[in-house]
Amino acid sequence: MKTRNNEVVCLFQDKVSELLLKHRSILDSLSKHTESATRVNRAITKAVTGCGCISINARKQQLPAEISLEECRKYMDSHIEGSLCENCREIIEEEIGNQLFYLSALCHLLNFKLEDIIKKEYERLNALGFFHLS
């Protein structure tokens, strides 16, 4: 099935609303969304502490004194060293997918279209550029 990205988002949200049975209550969906975010965090943490395929070496970001916002990107570090192994990548991807499911469920229950939210946020980022950070 060949679709455009915006069609995929719509199809995804439609499928979620079709399958949304157990968590039709906004309270259930809110708590499941929060839980799924925690599971993403836990999966990334386990990639560091359990598997060791990645490590985190966090430190204060060092920026030269007189640089523009556009130039900051060159000096900012993700603090991630290594790369995810196939197993950790699969687990994290699944957890992010679950989080998207519950985000889409919240959108459905509150009568939002996820596609519209993504478009509006893209337009806002496009218009504000680096100033969206404030």
Backbone angles phi, psi at 74, to 5 degrees: -65, -25
- The domains of the chain, with CATH numbers, are 5-17+26-133 (1.10.287)
61 class by beta-carbon count within 10 Å (0-12 exposed, 13-18 middle, 19+ buried): exposed
**Both tokens of residue 87?**
């197993």
pTM score of the predicted model: 0.84
Residue 2 has pLDDT above 60, yes or no: no
- Could you report the per-residue pLDDT of 9-25, keeping only the tens digit for each? 999 999 998 888 776 88
Whether the pLDDT of residue 96 is over 90: the answer is: yes
For residue 83, pLDDT beyond 60: yes
Alpha helix stretches (DSSP H) within the chain: 5-19, 26-46, 69-72, 86-109, 114-128
The angle subtended at Cα 130 by Cα 127 and Cα 134, nearest 5°, is: 100
